[in-house]
Amino acid sequence: MKKILIFIFFFIMNLFSYGQNQSRIDALKALLNTAKEDTTRLRLYLALGDESIESVNIPKALEYYQKSLSLSKAIDFKGGISLSLMNIGHIYYSQGDTSQALKNYEN
Protein backbone atom coordinates (compact mmCIF):
# COMPACT_ATOMS: atom_id res chain seq x y z
CA MET A 1 0.00 0.00 0.00
CA LYS A 2 2.83 2.36 0.88
CA LYS A 3 4.44 1.81 -2.55
CA ILE A 4 1.18 2.63 -4.29
CA LEU A 5 0.79 5.86 -2.34
CA ILE A 6 4.36 6.87 -3.16
CA PHE A 7 3.75 6.10 -6.84
CA ILE A 8 0.56 8.17 -6.87
CA PHE A 9 2.33 11.05 -5.13
CA PHE A 10 5.14 11.16 -7.70
CA PHE A 11 2.69 10.74 -10.57
CA ILE A 12 0.68 13.74 -9.42
CA MET A 13 3.83 15.78 -8.82
CA ASN A 14 4.96 14.96 -12.34
CA LEU A 15 1.68 16.26 -13.74
CA PHE A 16 2.10 19.55 -11.89
CA SER A 17 5.73 19.91 -12.85
CA TYR A 18 4.95 19.70 -16.58
CA GLY A 19 3.33 23.14 -16.59
CA GLN A 20 6.12 24.56 -14.48
CA ASN A 21 8.67 23.00 -16.79
CA GLN A 22 7.12 24.70 -19.82
CA SER A 23 7.22 28.00 -17.94
CA ARG A 24 10.92 27.49 -17.26
CA ILE A 25 11.54 26.69 -20.94
CA ASP A 26 9.70 29.86 -21.98
CA ALA A 27 11.71 31.92 -19.49
CA LEU A 28 15.00 30.43 -20.73
CA LYS A 29 14.04 31.17 -24.34
CA ALA A 30 13.28 34.77 -23.41
CA LEU A 31 16.69 35.07 -21.74
CA LEU A 32 18.33 33.52 -24.79
CA ASN A 33 16.82 36.21 -27.01
CA THR A 34 18.42 38.94 -24.91
CA ALA A 35 21.73 37.24 -24.00
CA LYS A 36 24.72 39.01 -25.48
CA GLU A 37 27.66 36.97 -24.20
CA ASP A 38 28.43 33.67 -25.90
CA THR A 39 29.06 31.88 -22.61
CA THR A 40 25.66 32.98 -21.34
CA ARG A 41 24.02 31.73 -24.54
CA LEU A 42 25.90 28.46 -24.17
CA ARG A 43 24.66 27.95 -20.61
CA LEU A 44 21.12 28.76 -21.70
CA TYR A 45 21.28 26.18 -24.51
CA LEU A 46 22.49 23.58 -22.01
CA ALA A 47 19.71 24.52 -19.57
CA LEU A 48 17.12 24.34 -22.37
CA GLY A 49 18.40 20.89 -23.27
CA ASP A 50 18.07 19.78 -19.66
CA GLU A 51 14.56 21.18 -19.37
CA SER A 52 13.57 19.54 -22.66
CA ILE A 53 14.69 16.18 -21.29
CA GLU A 54 12.56 16.80 -18.20
CA SER A 55 9.64 17.47 -20.57
CA VAL A 56 10.45 14.25 -22.43
CA ASN A 57 11.07 16.20 -25.63
CA ILE A 58 14.23 14.36 -26.62
CA PRO A 59 14.51 15.70 -30.20
CA LYS A 60 14.38 19.27 -28.88
CA ALA A 61 16.94 18.46 -26.18
CA LEU A 62 19.27 17.06 -28.84
CA GLU A 63 18.78 20.22 -30.90
CA TYR A 64 19.71 22.46 -27.94
CA TYR A 65 22.75 20.35 -27.08
CA GLN A 66 23.88 20.47 -30.73
CA LYS A 67 23.59 24.27 -30.62
CA SER A 68 25.61 24.39 -27.41
CA LEU A 69 28.25 22.18 -29.06
CA SER A 70 28.46 24.42 -32.14
CA LEU A 71 28.75 27.54 -30.02
CA SER A 72 31.34 25.94 -27.73
CA LYS A 73 33.46 25.01 -30.74
CA ALA A 74 33.10 28.50 -32.21
CA ILE A 75 34.43 30.14 -29.04
CA ASP A 76 36.86 27.27 -28.33
CA PHE A 77 35.38 26.62 -24.89
CA LYS A 78 36.55 23.12 -23.99
CA GLY A 79 34.30 22.79 -20.94
CA GLY A 80 31.23 23.55 -23.05
CA ILE A 81 32.35 21.12 -25.73
CA SER A 82 32.78 18.41 -23.11
CA LEU A 83 29.37 19.00 -21.50
CA SER A 84 27.62 19.15 -24.86
CA LEU A 85 29.19 15.92 -26.13
CA MET A 86 28.43 14.16 -22.85
CA ASN A 87 24.77 15.20 -22.99
CA ILE A 88 24.43 14.23 -26.66
CA GLY A 89 26.08 10.88 -25.93
CA HIS A 90 23.72 10.29 -23.03
CA ILE A 91 20.70 10.87 -25.26
CA TYR A 92 21.94 8.38 -27.84
CA TYR A 93 22.80 5.86 -25.13
CA SER A 94 19.33 6.15 -23.56
CA GLN A 95 17.83 5.50 -27.00
CA GLY A 96 19.93 2.36 -27.40
CA ASP A 97 22.24 3.79 -30.09
CA THR A 98 25.49 2.84 -28.39
CA SER A 99 27.70 3.37 -31.43
CA GLN A 100 26.54 6.98 -31.80
CA ALA A 101 26.82 7.44 -28.02
CA LEU A 102 30.42 6.22 -28.08
CA LYS A 103 31.30 8.64 -30.89
CA ASN A 104 30.18 11.52 -28.68
CA TYR A 105 31.72 10.16 -25.50
CA GLU A 106 35.09 9.61 -27.21
CA ASN A 107 35.34 13.06 -28.80
pLDDT tens digits, one per residue of 21-78: 788 888 888 888 988 889 899 999 999 999 999 888 999 999 999 999 999 999 999 9
Identify the pLDDT of residue 36: 87
Residue 63 contacts residue 75 (beta carbons within 8 Å): no
Identify the pLDDT of residue 17: 52
Evaluate if pTM is beyond 0.75: yes
Where does the pLDDT of residue 106 fall: very low under 50, low under 70, confident under 90, or very high at 90 and above? Answer: confident
Q: Does the structure show a pLDDT above 70 at 13?
A: no
Helices (H), 35-97: 38-54, 58-74, 78-94
Alpha carbon distance 89, 83 (integer Å): 10
Identify the pLDDT of residue 5: 46
Identify the pLDDT of residue 104: 87
